[in-house]
Amino acid sequence: MIERTPQDEERQKAQPAETGESAVVKAEPKEEQPNNPLHGITLEKIVTRLVDELGWIEMNRRIKINCFYSHPSVKSSLKFLRQTEWARTQVENLYLEVMYSKRMKEKNAPDKPGR
């Protein structure tokens, strides 16, 4: 008799059933990330906000990526950034830097006179 290990059982659960039905794999619940400032912000929102704040020319000046220079679009940028971890990390860091400096400017801006 062949002994079954827990790994064998996990592999069997992940494989499609022999009846031709596809296996249903339940997604594990997403873990909370209270200290992650990017939690809940999609990559599309990040790119769109950076374009609104900086524009494509400034984004290309700060991060040398061809999708910011040659026929830039949100769609082409998302495709590249999803496939290239180092570029995505740089864009996320730029987003944090820009949003932080924007918040600091708003916080330190003098009140409008006459109010």
How far apart are alpha carbons 110 and 105 in whole angstroms?
10
pLDDT in tens, 74-110: 999 999 999 999 999 999 999 999 999 888 888 887 7
Q: What pLDDT is attached to residue 113? A: 62
pLDDT band of residue 3 (cuts 50, 70, 90) is low
Phi-psi region for residue 20, left (φ > 0), alpha (ψ -120 to 50) or beta? left
Per residue in 9-66, pLDDT tens? Answer: 665 555 555 555 555 555 555 666 778 888 889 999 999 999 999 999 999 999 999 9
Domains of the chain, residue spans: 39-105
Is the overall model pTM greater than 0.75, yes or no? no
- pLDDT of the residue at 26: 57
Q: In the block, which residue shows the tokens 């022999």?
A: 18
CATH class of the domain whose range is 39-105:
mainly alpha
CA pair distance 62, 68, nearest whole angstrom = 10
pLDDT score recorded for residue 92: 95
d(CA 78, CA 73): 9
